Amino acid sequence: MEEHKNTKYLGADEQISLDDLKSFLWGAATRLRGQIDAAGYKEYIFPLLFFKRISDVYDEQFHDFVCEGGEDYAHMQAEELAIRIPEGAHWNDVREVTENVGQRLVEAFIAIEQANPGEEADGRIIGGLDGIFGPKDGWTNKAKMPDHIITSLIEDFSRYNLSLAHCPADEMGQAYEYLVGKFADDAGNTAQEFYTNRTVVTLMAEILQPKPEESIYDPTCGSGGMLVKCLDFLRQKGEPWQGVKVFGQEINALTSSIARMNLYLNGVEDFSIVREDTLAHPAFVDGSKLRKFDIVLANPPYSIKTWNREAFMNDKWGRNFLGTPPQGRADYAFIQHIIASMNDYKGRSATLLPHGVLFRDEEKELRRKLVESDAIDCVIGLGPNLFYNSPMEACIIICSNCKPIERRGKILMINAINDVVRQNAESKLLPEHIDKITKIYHSSSEIEGYSKLVTKDLIAGKDYNLNISLYAYSSLYDNVQTNIDESLSVWKKISEDTLIEYNLFIKLIGA
């Protein structure tokens, strides 16, 4: 497994800059333009990135062992590494191949997966590389991925040493997240399956405030960004994060593999990601009950129509305590799963959902029971375009089994619908937006037209409609003065906003 003689590695003390790493990764991806659809980039780039990273880290660790005790000692110690590279399955072994490169790559992937099984502990499989490289058929389809394309990609990745010394875990994690976002932008309407707007995820983590040694669960984890962001919350505050137990479930095979790679590349090893349908087959159970977690956060697929409603009606895990949602909208099935998965004493959750769950008539009885249960701690209304490729408004529902005394029997409503900006064709929350919302949440502050602490009785009086504008309403007219110029300015702004909303509506209905 000696280094390839032509590898253009940086000097021993040099690191790859984050900007250079991002540029390099996206440049490698664009080699696939014209060869496959943009939505398929991730099927090839993420496995290659992971393969190169673990090979370079292995070399780095092996070299350290050689310096410490010689070749024989290094080989012995290498057997105990967190990720082992079998003989003949290293990046450089594949790089030497000139024919049937895709088949040789698949053989290396399989060898690495088999050499690194997960560990059974605590009623779950922890870590492990089984299936982590995702579907492999595409690599051996020469019409789709001929040898020269794969060889070009391998040579691209061979330009840099991706060891820990050259590319620390936090930098690799940031580059990986950048790549996920770029793929989401480039892939059109397939993005939502694996990507959630990261500024919204940051807000959710800031509200939930994970603590060292807690358990974190995402039942629809996509590429794992929410789980990573919770760990980032601790890292950025200088708190220990290695003891946090991470759990995720994802129905899509490739996306679940991407999530596992994401966690590994962010330096996380104590995690369990299971590929399975959360509603049909919850992966984390404790006997006849769902396993409970300290923190649950999710961006479930919104308003899905194809799901087993009949099975949920008689759910053996007791997740229909509010009732059975309509066939055409499974949102409240996910909400009930999330609440049922919260620790009974300190569990809390944040769920990103379409605004309609707050007021749709067909879910009113479910909503009534949810309000009466006093599980909801806060509802945050967000602006449009924060779901990928959808103009709809979003909301975050915060649930808690440890509500502060002043919020028991009440729900904090935060109307942050105008706290969104459009930059580089992406809607996002700015740091000041996140800071403002977070401070109001943790202080239970009431601001006229923005936040309001409302009682269950008041909500009952409005027929259990949770539309935030019924309780905390802010209008563009609020600040209109008698001055004609100011009034005309506001009228122009309202007209422009109306035109934007009209165009989004026309686009949505396909007219």
Give the pLDDT confidence of 180-196 residue by residue, as tens digits.
777 766 555 444 455 67
* Residue 31 confidence (pLDDT): 82
Q: Can you give the pLDDT at residue 425?
A: 67
**CA separation for the pair 102, 467 (Å, rounded):** 53
Can you tell me the mean pLDDT for 406-415? 95
- Encode pLDDT of 448-502 as tens digits: 999 999 999 999 999 999 999 999 875 433 433 445 655 565 566 567 657 766 6
pLDDT tens digits for 363-384?
999 999 999 999 999 999 998 8
Residue 178 has pLDDT above 90, yes or no: no
Residues with Cβ < 8 Å from 100, sequence gap 6 or more? Answer: 147
pLDDT band for position 13 (50/70/90)? low
How far, in Å, CA of 39 to CA of 429, rounded?
26
Q: With the C-alpha atoms ordered 350, 353, 356, 360, is the resulting torsion angle positive or negative? A: negative
Long-range contacts of 43-47 (CB under 8 A, 24+ apart): 43/134, 43/135, 43/138, 43/254, 44/138, 44/139, 44/145, 44/153, 45/153, 45/179, 45/183, 46/134, 46/179, 46/257, 46/258, 46/261, 47/109, 47/133, 47/134, 47/257, 47/261
Q: CA Rg, the chain, in Å?
A: 25
pLDDT band at 388 (very low <50, low <70, confident <90, very high): low
pLDDT band at 15 (very low <50, low <70, confident <90, very high): confident
Q: Considering only residues 417 and 188, tell me which one the structure prediction assigns the higher pLDDT.
A: 417
421-423 and 376-384 beta bridge pairing? unpaired
CA dihedral 240, 127, 39, 144 (to 10 degrees): 140
* pLDDT tens digits, one per residue of 303-312: 888 999 999 9
For the chain, give the number of residues.
511
Could you tell me if 216 and 295 are in contact, meaning their C-beta atoms sit under 8 angstroms apart?
yes
Query: Which has more confidence, 501 or 228?
Result: 228
pLDDT, residue 494, reads 64
Question: Which residues on neighbouring strands pair with residue 342, listed in sequence order?
Answer: 293
Indicate whether 503 pLDDT > 50.
yes
Looking at the DSSP bridge assignments, the partners of residue 246 are 216, 271
Interatomic CA distance for residues 457 and 213, integer angstroms: 38
Residue 478 is predicted with a pLDDT of: 40
Q: How far is residue 237's CA from residue 215's CA, in Å, rounded to a whole number?
A: 18
Long-range contacts of the stretch 9-18 (C-beta < 8 A, 24+): 9/160, 9/161, 9/166, 10/160, 10/161, 10/166, 12/165, 14/166, 15/165, 15/166, 15/167, 15/168, 15/171, 16/160, 16/162, 16/166, 16/167, 16/171, 18/171, 18/174, 18/175
What is the arithmetic mean of pLDDT over 276-304?
93
pTM of the model: 0.83
Which secondary-structure segment (H or E) carries 432? helix 431-443
Mean pLDDT of all residues in 390-412: 91
pLDDT of 508 strictly over 90: no
The DSSP line for 133-168 is: T---GGGG-TTTS-HHHHHHHHHHHTTS--STTTS-
Q: What is the pLDDT of residues 291-345, one digit of tens each?
A: 999 999 999 988 888 999 999 999 999 999 999 999 999 999 999 999 999 999 9
Mean pLDDT, the chain, rounded, equals 86
Q: State how far the Cα of 274 lies from the Cα of 260, in Å rounded to an integer.
A: 9
Give the tokens for residue 81. 């590494």
* Tokens read off for 209: 């405030």
Buried b (16+ CB within 10 A) or exposed e, 11-48: eeeeebebeebbebbbebbeebeeeeebbbbbbbbbbb
Please spell the DSSP secondary structure of 350-385, one letter per residue: EEEEEGGGGT-GGGHHHHHHHHHTT-EEEEEEEEET
CB count in 10 Å sphere of residue 218: 28
Which one, of 159, 160, 155, 199, lies nearest residue 177 by Cα? 199
Collapsing DSSP to helix, strand or coil, 318 comes out as: coil
**Burial of residue 458 (number of CB atoms within 10 Å: 0-12, 13-18, 19+):** middle
CA proximity to 78, closest of 58, 50, 55 = 58
DSSP class of residue 462? T
pLDDT average, residue stretch 27-52: 85
Which two three-digit tokens encode residue 322? 């509010």
CB-CB contact of 15 with 168 (8 Å): yes
Q: Which amino acid is at 223?
A: S
pLDDT at 2 over 80: no
Distance, in Å, from the CA atom of 154 to the CA atom of 48, rounded to the nearest integer, reads 8
Question: Is 429 within 8 Å of 419 (Cβ atoms)?
Answer: yes
